[in-house]
A = this chain, B = another copy of it.
Amino acid sequence: MTTRFRDVLETFENQFPNRDYTIETICPEFTSLCPKTGQPDFGMLTITYVPDKLCFELKSLKLYLRQYRNHGSFYEHVTNTILDDLVAVTQPRSMKLLAEFTPRGGIRTNVIVEYVIEKS
């Protein structure tokens, strides 16, 4: 499940493909809209991945995430979709996305999604 949004994502070549290493990118300023109430949701995204041939470029990630600003999407949906888009574009050895949303109605929610290479 991927989106039109991923078209803005750019990549650069991993210069150290012989080594498994980890890149962790933390975006504390994520915001989207609640599809039910239309009110803004806020959250922090932590993307952790082991690159294969490609890394995502940070400025394009910022533009990619900005597209959710006026887009309605549920917590679970937005988290799974962002992972799918980043996986589609970078084809990493592994990737994990932690989304920590700010409280609503006194209740706080985190969603943790991990990419596992699917066996055909």
Q: Size class of A's contact patch? A: 35 or more
Q: Is the pair A22, B111 in contact by a Cβ cutoff of 8 Å?
A: yes
**A71 surroundings in chain B (CB, below 8 A):** none
The smallest beta-carbon distance between A18 and chain B, in angstroms, is 8
Q: Is the CB of A110 within 8 A of B24?
A: yes
Whether A114 lies near B21 (C-beta < 8 A) is yes
Q: Which residues of B contact A23 (CB under 8 A)?
A: 75-76, 109-112
> A15 to B80, alpha carbons, bound, how many Å?
9
- A-side residues, CB < 8 A to B, are 1, 14-16, 19-29, 31, 39-40, 42, 55, 58-59, 61-62, 66, 69-70, 75-77, 79-80, 102-114, 116
